[in-house]
Amino acid sequence: MAKELKEVVNKEENYSQWYNNLVVKAGLAETSAVRGCMVIKPYGYAIWEKMHEVLDKMFKETGHQNAYFPLFIPKSFFSKEAHHVEGFAKECAVVTHYRLKNDPNGKGVIVDPEAKLEEELIVRPTSETIIWNTYKNWIQSYRDLPILCNQWANVVRWEMRTRLFLRTAEFLWQEGHTAHATREEAIEEAKRMINVYADFVQNWMAVPVIIGHKSENERFAGAEDTLTIEALMQDGKALQSGTSHFLGQNFAKAFDVTFANKEGKLDYVWATSWGVSTRLMGALIMAHSDNNGLVLPPKLAPIQVVMIPIYKGEDQLAEINVKLEEIASQLKELGISVKIDARDNVRSGFKFAEYELKGVPVRLAMGPRDLENGTIELMRRDTLEKETISREGIALHIKNLLDEIQQSIFNKALKFRESMITKVDTYDEFKKVLDEKGGFILAHWDGTVATEELIKEETKATIRCIPLDAPEEDGVCIVTGKPSKRRVLFARSY
């Protein structure tokens, strides 16, 4: 087993360390010299690029355009929306000066005290304020609506406890910001986009999600309603994977953005915003991987098939390579990404472990006996099953296998998630399930912030969402015994 792999701790032993080991050893990301900021390494970035590409296409197919807004936001902008400032302006990077100068007392450079900004600038933690200040000039009449913009950008939130991909001071994301003439249209947009996210996370990342509304307490700062998709990780904790907000007229009122409607009357504009981030990388890693390393769904794997020649001497390598190149070109014709690893300075066993660590969905290995027999050894990463198969018709076989793996990974995650949803009717049971089993808990809640906060304080579990498909069901709150109309979804979470 490769040296890299040996240093990955088992997930049953220490889930959190297993995750960190994986991220670093598989070459996805690493910490940097700047507290809380990560370096996304080429292999990790290649996965993010695929996510970006697929999502961007989905956004465009639903009528959105990309644009770019400033990195900096004047401090005063945050005070304009009362909830927003509480949620975002507190833990943030503040630019106060615009120049350094040589240190008169010695080496290096110091901040030039004369280059102090009149108004401090905040490095965007999210862009509602600067964007609505811009939209003000774009909107006069209903004919200027809707505005359907998305931005791919970096944002900064000064998190105290950070973890690669899951919670970093700087992260990459996309933020959609739309402006509408009616409340209904904005609500519809917010729903459309949470469905786009669910589609992406389920059908590309192979991670099942539950769609629902956030409780008032967990809502985005400045939103009237927040829709969320919640995924379950293998340790039984939930991970919020994407959110879409109906912002009402809050930002329009804060930035005085009005429009003349069809009747010629002035009204405030209705808004949504929605985003997913590099946090999805964390979800992808944690949902599928095992103690051998990453398990990547084929649709997002930068390398879908790796081929390794097993040989003695240059002549044999050349012979095997001819065959591998043939298969590679057949696979490429089918749109499958392939890598042939013929490095001569590491042993095959090392390569096997390395590509298992990197989660490459299919591994082909070909030795002298295969050469004779017209066969090849195939291993699928998700199940680690090996078989020796004929090279006849192999390209199509692999194409179908990749589809099967994609589906199989999803099914496995879904089965696990289903097994980890527990209905409870008492607070004792609630606590017991949380501690002994984990996962999602469906329970009745009286709908108050006070109860929610009490539960959070006592159990560290929060309401992940009020599922869209939660059936009406009369019950009583597990804490207060007050009446409740439907169960909500609780979990401990990332």
What the block records as the tokens of 367 is: 């030795």
Q: Which of 58, 30, 56, 55 is nearest to 43 (CA)?
A: 30
Question: Which of 91-99, 207-215, 244-252, 334-342 is the region at the interface with a second copy (rule: CB under 8 A)?
Answer: 91-99
> How many residues lie near a second copy (CB under 8 A)?
64
- Does 326 bind a second copy (CB under 8 A)? Our answer is no
Q: How far is CA 28 from the centre of its chain?
A: 14
Q: Which residues of 142-177 are buried (b: 16+ CB within 10 A; e: fewer)?
A: beebbbbbbbebebbbbbeebbbbbbbbbbbbbbbb
Q: By CB under 8 A, name the one of 15, 72, 350, 416 that touches a second copy.
A: 72
- Does 7 bind a second copy (CB under 8 A)? Our answer is no
- Distance CA(436)–CA(445), nearest Å, equals 21
Q: By CB under 8 A, name the one of 7, 10, 12, 34 that touches a second copy.
A: 34
Residue 327 exposure: Cα atoms within 13 Å on the Cβ side: 32
Question: Which of 96-104, 320-328, 424-432, 444-452 is the region at the interface with a second copy (rule: CB under 8 A)?
Answer: 96-104
* Minimum distance of a second copy from residue 94's CB (angstroms): 4
- Distance CA(271)–CA(259), nearest Å, equals 13
- Does 68 bind a second copy (CB under 8 A)? Our answer is yes
- For residue 45, CA distances in Å to 29, 340, 494 come to 8, 21, 22
- Does 296 bind a second copy (CB under 8 A)? Our answer is no
* Minimum distance of a second copy from residue 52's CB (angstroms): 10
**Residues 339-378, interacting with a second copy (CB under 8 A):** 345
Q: Which of 301, 310, 320 is nearest to 350 (CA)?
A: 310
Q: Which is nearer to a second copy, 14 or 76 (CB)?
A: 76
- The values of phi and psi at residue 435, to 5°, are -80, -35
- Does 187 bind a second copy (CB under 8 A)? Our answer is no
- The values of phi and psi at residue 408, to 5°, are -65, -40
- Does 89 bind a second copy (CB under 8 A)? Our answer is yes
**Residues 146-185, interacting with a second copy (CB under 8 A):** 149, 153-154, 156, 158, 170, 172
- Does 329 bind a second copy (CB under 8 A)? Our answer is no
* Minimum distance of a second copy from residue 77's CB (angstroms): 7
Question: Which of 132-140, 180-188, 217-225, 266-274 is the region at the interface with a second copy (rule: CB under 8 A)?
Answer: 132-140
- Does 97 bind a second copy (CB under 8 A)? Our answer is yes
- Does 39 bind a second copy (CB under 8 A)? Our answer is yes
Q: Which of 342, 338, 443, 348 is nearest to 398 (CA)?
A: 338
- Distance CA(361)–CA(288), nearest Å, equals 12
Q: By CB under 8 A, name the one of 6, 16, 42, 393 that touches a second copy.
A: 42
- Distance CA(134)–CA(121), nearest Å, equals 17
Q: Does a cis peptide bond (omega within 30 degrees of 0) precede residue 70?
A: no
- Distance CA(329)–CA(303), nearest Å, equals 14
Question: Which of 90-98, 222-230, 244-252, 347-355 is the region at the interface with a second copy (rule: CB under 8 A)?
Answer: 90-98
> What residues contact 277, with CB distance under 8 A and at least 6 apart?
155, 171, 172, 173, 174
Contact 488, 463 (CB under 8 A): yes
Say whether 242 sits in a helix, a strand or coil.
strand
* Minimum distance of a second copy from residue 68's CB (angstroms): 4
Q: By CB under 8 A, name the one of 2, 8, 122, 239 that touches a second copy.
A: 122
Q: By CB under 8 A, name the one of 9, 32, 258, 407 that touches a second copy.
A: 32
- Distance CA(338)–CA(349), nearest Å, equals 19
- Altogether, the residues listed in the chain come to a count of 494
What the block records as the tokens of 138 is: 């774009």
* Minimum distance of a second copy from residue 357's CB (angstroms): 17
- Does 77 bind a second copy (CB under 8 A)? Our answer is yes
* Minimum distance of a second copy from residue 58's CB (angstroms): 16
Q: Which is nearer to a second copy, 96 or 426 (CB)?
A: 96
- Does 221 bind a second copy (CB under 8 A)? Our answer is no
**Residues 387-416, interacting with a second copy (CB under 8 A):** none
Q: Where are the alpha helices (H) located in 250-367, listed in sequence order?
A: 250-254, 279-288, 313-333, 348-357
Contact 364, 376 (CB under 8 A): yes
- Does 332 bind a second copy (CB under 8 A)? Our answer is no
* Minimum distance of a second copy from residue 24's CB (angstroms): 11
* Minimum distance of a second copy from residue 137's CB (angstroms): 8
Question: Which of 11-19, 97-105, 239-247, 369-377 is the region at the interface with a second copy (rule: CB under 8 A)?
Answer: 97-105
- Does 437 bind a second copy (CB under 8 A)? Our answer is no
Question: Which of 38-46, 184-192, 205-213, 448-456 is the region at the interface with a second copy (rule: CB under 8 A)?
Answer: 38-46
Question: Which of 114-122, 362-370, 438-446, 460-468 is the region at the interface with a second copy (rule: CB under 8 A)?
Answer: 114-122
- For residue 355, CA distances in Å to 6, 340, 410 come to 14, 12, 21
Q: By CB under 8 A, name the one of 20, 21, 126, 134 that touches a second copy.
A: 134
* Binding footprint of a second copy on the chain (CB under 8 A): 30, 32-34, 37-42, 45-46, 48-49, 65-79, 85, 89-101, 107-109, 111, 120-123, 130, 133-134, 137, 143, 149, 153-154, 156, 158, 170, 172, 345
